[in-house]
Chains A and B, each alone.
Chain A
Amino acid sequence: MIVLIQLLNVLLPLGYVLAVLNYLVIYVSRPEWSLRTVTPLARGLVAVHAVYLLLAALAFEHVPVASVWEAFTFIAFALAAVYLILEWRLRDPSTGVFLLTPVLFFQILSSAFVTRTQEVDPILQSSWFGAHVTTALLGYAAFAIAAVYGTLYLLLYRELKRKRTGLVFQRLPNLEVLARLNLNALIFGWGALTLAMLLGTAWAIGLQSRGELTGSFLLDPKFLSTAVVWVLYGSCLGGRYVRKWPSRDLAGVSLVTFLLMVASSIGINLFADSFHSFG
């Protein structure tokens, strides 16, 4: 099983390279062969990715999100799976190249640096951990999708204002669809993050009561930054539903919030001491 996991660890980035190239060809010239093959191949690839995660979970006896590099392949999988659902709903593979490029990025990093071991902190073998981290990563994947569709909205908006009918005009779905995808991804992401925080809080309280966690998790930098992200995204949705923000503003704000979130995650992982860091 280990050999198969290692083999898939090498094959997955290669598969995503081919998928990104195929989606790029579709974006640029839409040849018939590419339109016929791209979706079945991408679905096959995501199915293989699911098998890889399952095998890793079984072989190493923990949900495969125990390190940043394990989490990256999970994010890649979640992004690709959600994209395929959207593609199925839209019946149009034109935006695939924009969504699968971050997938490829996450998978390459994960495949390059992941080291898997059964000897993880026992805390990470808890089902609470699996549920907490999985929902949080699903939320982050949804925010990434919102950022991508927000960017595409702004790109098409600019082309329409400039009266240009180039590739962006021809290939992207209309503004209304892009706005809907942006908003739906934000709603899903915020919901998932809310659930992840509730699960994490409940879990931390339980651990504290048993004396397995010392100090206040409320002051943990990762908790604090996640709370800020949660508030920011919540404000986006509030702005949309209460203040009736136009789709263009929501697209811009969701993109900026995503960039802030990525920057703060990198900063905390590099510089802050958090109980969220596990050996």
Chain B
Amino acid sequence: MQLSLFGINHTSAPAGVRDAVAMTAEEIGDFVGQYRERIDAVQELVVLSTCHRTELYMGAADTAAAGKQLRDVVCTFKGVEHMHNGQYTFEREGREAAKHLFRVAAGLDSLMIGEDQILGQVKDALAVAERCGAPGSLLTRFFHAAVHTGKRVRSETEIGRGAVSIAYAAVGMATKVFNDLAQHSVAVVGAGETGRLVGLHFRDQGPAQLFVLNRTFERARQLAEELGGRARPFDELAATLREVDVVVSATVAPEPVMSAEMLAEVMRERGGRPLVAIDIASPGDIDPAAGRLANLFLYDLDALGAITEQNRAQRAKEIPKAERIVDEEQRRFFQWYETLAVTPVVRALRKSFEEIGRREARKHGKQFHRTDRETLERYTQALISKLLHHPTLGLKDLDRSTPEGFGKLAAMRELFRLDADGDGPGSEGDGESQ
């Protein structure tokens, strides 16, 4: 059975085209259920669909036929035409397919290098496929290896460190001042889209209280409802600033709404309690001179932009290290994959039994007279040969290109722990596969 993939992603197609073939978890279930019979050349299938990619990973004996069938049914299922001629799509086979998914899981193929979300999406894709019974031994192992790769890359490199979006950078600066935002309160000033986006990121931190202030109170109320906070009239701004620990300002006012004098007064009344002020308005809402006040940490769009730029550059430096991990894991996966042929499994099984036989003969040999030890060894060998006779014949009848044959070979390796010498990825993958 061969590994292959075809798909569409942010490097091969524009957003509109990608959106047309994207599938929700329910749709993937429907797709597999409805079209299983028409994709009989596809023996195993996992669909990874996010806003940036829809990729179909398959295990098939004839990958060309399987790819064609799959392409046809996707077009029918989603009612699109443009995938037939290969426009916007890409294909990978074998090692290239493996490398692709491992890079995806590592965040190396994402628009935002090193982002975390994709790793969860890879896990979810396998879970959805498992619910439909679509993956077998090959793809299950393959996706577990991909998740393992993603985790390794994130723990052994700094590719995921540092915020690369303004909203994350804003939260990052606040959490470098305060230990736990659940103990602190946040105010969002301005109920427009920018305030909403950054407000959503702060809401996810579960602040103790969240206030929304806007010149039009009704809009403040609407956004407060969405953010799970409370609306306050705009003229309570100074009082709110005395109370909260983080203020995010994103109004469309042409002049600063928080002057340095006002903030100086606020800081005096706060008695030295730090205040993080995030100014994401353009033009700015907070007088830059306020940045000089003690215990006030002011970050405007320029500062946050510079921080994200710096983090992007930092992440880029980690790419070679991450690529090395991807290559390592790809090699390990294919070591395992290549041992799943009949001859290597038979050989490994025999070797494992003989090793056990030798060990036990050594252990108990001293209880026998020297002349009997040779007999004991011959007896052990004969016993192993007899024990392995039928399993060996059964293994030789297996067809690796069928899911059953492939599955049985994988099961033999797992049951008899034929990876125990550490050659295969078995020992590493166990944690993932449970």
State whether A246 touches B295 (Cβ < 8 A). Answer: yes
State whether A174 touches B179 (Cβ < 8 A). Answer: yes
Determine if A214 is an interface residue (Cβ-Cβ < 8 Å).
Answer: no
Tell me which residues across on chain A come within 8 A of B273, comparing CB atoms: 246
State whether B294 touches A248 (Cβ < 8 A). Answer: yes
State whether B271 touches A244 (Cβ < 8 A). Answer: yes
Residue on A nearest B172 in the bound complex, by CB: A165
Segment with Cβ contacts to B, from A3-11, A71-79, A156-164: A156-164
Residue on A nearest B180 in the bound complex, by CB: A176
State whether A32 touches B155 (Cβ < 8 A). Answer: yes
Interface string of A208-246 (1 = CB under 8 A from B): 000000000000000000000000000000000000111
State whether A163 touches B177 (Cβ < 8 A). Answer: no
Interface of chain B residues 183 through 220 with chain A (CB within 8 A):
none
Q: Which of A156, A246, A247, A248 contacts B176 (CB 8 A)?
A: A156
State whether B176 touches A30 (Cβ < 8 A). Answer: no
In Å, the complex CA distance between A10 and B158 comes to: 38
Tell me which residues across on chain A come within 8 A of B158, comparing CB atoms: 30
Determine if B330 is an interface residue (Cβ-Cβ < 8 Å).
Answer: no
State whether B178 touches A246 (Cβ < 8 A). Answer: no
Tell me which residues across on chain B come within 8 A of A163, comparing CB atoms: 299, 303, 306-307
State whether A175 touches B176 (Cβ < 8 A). Answer: yes
Determine if A169 is an interface residue (Cβ-Cβ < 8 Å).
Answer: yes
In Å, the complex CA distance between A24 and B135 comes to: 46
- Taking the closest CB of chain B, its distance from the CB of A171, in whole angstroms, is 11
Determine if B274 is an interface residue (Cβ-Cβ < 8 Å).
Answer: yes
Determine if B162 is an interface residue (Cβ-Cβ < 8 Å).
Answer: yes
Tell me which residues across on chain B come within 8 A of A249, comparing CB atoms: 272
In Å, the complex CA distance between A169 and B310 comes to: 13
Residue on A nearest B270 in the bound complex, by CB: A246
State whether A165 touches B161 (Cβ < 8 A). Answer: no
Determine if B255 is an interface residue (Cβ-Cβ < 8 Å).
Answer: no
State whether A169 touches B291 (Cβ < 8 A). Answer: no
State whether B175 touches A244 (Cβ < 8 A). Answer: no
Tell me which residues across on chain A come within 8 A of B260, comparing CB atoms: none
Tell me which residues across on chain B come within 8 A of A161, comparing CB atoms: 291, 297
Tell me which residues across on chain A come within 8 A of B49, comparing CB atoms: none
**Number of residues of chain A lying within 8 A (CB) of chain B:** 21
State whether A245 touches B177 (Cβ < 8 A). Answer: no
- Taking the closest CB of chain A, its distance from the CB of B106, in whole angstroms, is 16
State whether A248 touches B272 (Cβ < 8 A). Answer: yes
Most chain-B CB neighbours within 10 Å: which of A169, A173, A174, A176? A176
Tell me which residues across on chain A come within 8 A of B176, comparing CB atoms: 156, 160, 169, 174-175
In Å, the complex CA distance between A130 and B161 comes to: 49
Tell me which residues across on chain A come within 8 A of B271, comparing CB atoms: 244, 246
In Å, the complex CA distance between A130 and B296 comes to: 47
Interface string of B254-285 (1 = CB under 8 A from A): 00000000000000000111100000000000
Determine if A170 is an interface residue (Cβ-Cβ < 8 Å).
Answer: yes
State whether A175 touches B274 (Cβ < 8 A). Answer: yes
State whether A175 touches B299 (Cβ < 8 A). Answer: no
- Taking the closest CB of chain B, its distance from the CB of A67, in whole angstroms, is 42
Determine if A177 is an interface residue (Cβ-Cβ < 8 Å).
Answer: yes
Residue on A nearest B297 in the bound complex, by CB: A160
- Taking the closest CB of chain A, its distance from the CB of B189, in whole angstroms, is 21
**Number of residues of chain B lying within 8 A (CB) of chain A:** 25
State whether B272 touches A174 (Cβ < 8 A). Answer: no
Interface of chain A residues 4 through 60 with chain B (CB within 8 A):
30, 32
State whether B162 touches A165 (Cβ < 8 A). Answer: yes
Interface of chain B residues 138 through 190 with chain A (CB within 8 A):
155-156, 158, 161-162, 173, 175-179
Tell me which residues across on chain A come within 8 A of B179, comparing CB atoms: 173-174, 176-177, 180
Residue on A nearest B155 in the bound complex, by CB: A32
Tell me which residues across on chain B come within 8 A of A30, comparing CB atoms: 158
State whether B310 touches A165 (Cβ < 8 A). Answer: yes
Determine if B311 is an interface residue (Cβ-Cβ < 8 Å).
Answer: yes
Interface string of A238-278 (1 = CB under 8 A from B): 00000011111100000000000000000000000000000
Interface string of A168-202 (1 = CB under 8 A from B): 01100111110010000000000000000000000
Interface string of B77-118 (1 = CB under 8 A from A): 000000000000000000000000000000000000000000
State whether A32 touches B156 (Cβ < 8 A). Answer: yes
Q: Which of B175, B306, B307, B311 contacts A174 (CB 8 A)?
A: B175
Tell me which residues across on chain A come within 8 A of B297, comparing CB atoms: 160-161
Given contacts A163-B306, A246-B273, contact A176 B177 (CB under 8 A): yes
Tell me which residues across on chain B come within 8 A of A174, comparing CB atoms: 175-179
- Taking the closest CB of chain A, its distance from the CB of B183, in whole angstroms, is 9
State whether A170 touches B161 (Cβ < 8 A). Answer: yes
- Taking the closest CB of chain B, its distance from the CB of A122, in whole angstroms, is 51
- Taking the closest CB of chain B, its distance from the CB of A269, in whole angstroms, is 37
State whether B162 touches A176 (Cβ < 8 A). Answer: no
Tell me which residues across on chain B come within 8 A of A176, comparing CB atoms: 177-179
Tell me which residues across on chain A come within 8 A of B175, comparing CB atoms: 174
Tell me which residues across on chain B come within 8 A of A165, comparing CB atoms: 162, 307, 310-311
In Å, the complex CA distance between A180 and B183 comes to: 14
Given contacts A165-B310, A175-B274, A244-B272, contact A160 B178 (CB under 8 A): no
In Å, the complex CA distance between A246 and B162 comes to: 28
- Taking the closest CB of chain A, its distance from the CB of B218, in whole angstroms, is 36
Residue on B nearest A160 in the bound complex, by CB: B297
In Å, the complex CA distance between A160 and B271 comes to: 19
State whether B295 touches A248 (Cβ < 8 A). Answer: yes
In Å, the complex CA distance between A83 and B155 comes to: 25
In Å, the complex CA distance between A174 and B155 comes to: 21
- Taking the closest CB of chain B, its distance from the CB of A257, in whole angstroms, is 19
- Taking the closest CB of chain A, its distance from the CB of B181, in whole angstroms, is 10
- Taking the closest CB of chain B, its distance from the CB of A161, in whole angstroms, is 7
- 7 A-B pairs with the lowest CB-CB distances in the bound complex, closest first: A246-B272, A176-B179, A163-B303, A244-B271, A175-B177, A174-B176, A177-B179
Return 24 A-B CB contacts under 8 Å, by A number: A32-B155, A160-B173, A160-B177, A160-B297, A163-B299, A163-B306, A163-B307, A165-B162, A165-B311, A169-B176, A170-B162, A174-B175, A174-B179, A175-B176, A175-B177, A175-B274, A176-B177, A176-B178, A176-B179, A177-B179, A246-B271, A246-B294, A248-B294, A249-B272
New A-B contacts (8) at CB < 8 Å, excluding given A32-B156, A174-B179, A246-B272: A161-B297, A163-B299, A170-B162, A173-B179, A174-B175, A177-B179, A245-B272, A246-B271
